[in-house]
Amino acid sequence: MFNAIVSADTLRTTLDSVSVLVDECKIHLEADGLTIQAVDPANVGIIAGMAEAGQLVHLELDEETRKLHIAIDGLEYTLALIDPDSIRQEPDLPDLDLPAEIVIEGRDIDRAVTAADMVSDHIALGVDADAEHFYVDAEGDTDDVHLELGREDLIDLQAGDAHSLFSLDYLQDMNRAIPKDAEVTMELGEEFPIKMHFDIAEGEGSVTYLLAPRIQSD
C-alpha cells in the first residue's frame, strides 16, 4: 500500500499542464511529491512536471486491486488504473545547449500566441543577438504579425542568434497551462526545439515543455 499527500491546487495545476498534450500518463509518487514525464502521440511535444508534497489531497494506492483511492475535502474517489505497459514510454529530456535564453511573463506569451493565431497556423520565435531582442513572426496568406520585445521588455535576456518555426496548435495548448503572471524561461536555437520552464502553484511545482520545430525545406 502506498500513501501520499499532495496540495489540491498543486495537483490540479500539474494535471492541467499535462492534459494539454496527453490523455494518459504515468504518475510517480514519492516521499517528497510527484513527478510526471510524457510525450504526445506525434512525438512533437514533451511535458515534465513536478509537484511537492502538500496537505489537502490524500492518495492511496492499493497494489493488489490496482485501484487509486483519492480523498479530498470530504469526497472519496476510487479510480481503476491503466496498465503502465500500455502507456507510451516516458521520454528522456534531451540535454540541449541552446544559444539564447529569455525570461518572459506568461501574459506576453499569451499576447503573441493570440495575435499569431489571427493570421497563421505556425509561428516563428527567435532572438536577434545584435539587436538584443526577442521576436515573434507569423505569416498568413494575406496578413502578417510581428512582435519585438527588447531587453527592457523582458525579465531577462541572454542574447544568442536563434530562429525556429513551431506549430501554433501546440503552442496554444501549452499557453493555456501557463499562468499569465508566471515568469517563463525560454531556451531557443536555430531550428532547434524550444524549452519552456515555469513554476506553478506558488512555487510548489514546476513544469517544463519541450516542443520540436517545424523544419523548413529549401
pLDDT > 80? residue 170? yes
Provide the grid cell at 138. 507569423
Give residue-wise pLDDT tens across range 72-121.
Answer: 777 788 888 888 888 888 888 888 999 999 999 999 999 999 999 999 99
Which residue reads 510548489 in cell numbers?
204
Domain containing 167: what range? 100-211
- Cell representation of residue 159: 542574447
Domain CATH number, residue 78: 3.10.150.10
Q: Which amino acid is at 161?
A: D
Residues 74 and 130 in one domain: no
Does one domain contain both 20 and 71?
yes
Over residues 191-215, the mean pLDDT reads: 91
| Measured CA distances, 208 to 33, 73, 130, 140, 185 (Å) | 16, 29, 28, 29, 9
Give the pTM: 0.83
User: Do residue 45 and residue 110 come from a single domain?
Assistant: no
- Asked if residue 94 is part of any domain, the answer here is no
- Whether 153 is covered by a domain: the verdict is yes
Mean pLDDT of 182-191: 97
pLDDT tens for each residue of 22-36: 988 888 877 677 788
Position 1 scores a pLDDT of 54
Predicted local confidence at residue 102, as pLDDT = 98
Q: Are residue 73 and residue 107 in the same domain, yes or no?
A: no
| Same domain? 62 vs 148 | no
Interatomic CA distance for residues 130 and 140, integer angstroms: 27
Q: Which residue has the higher pLDDT, 12 or 173?
A: 173
Is residue 158 included in any domain, yes or no? Answer: yes
Indicate the number of domains in the chain.
Answer: 2
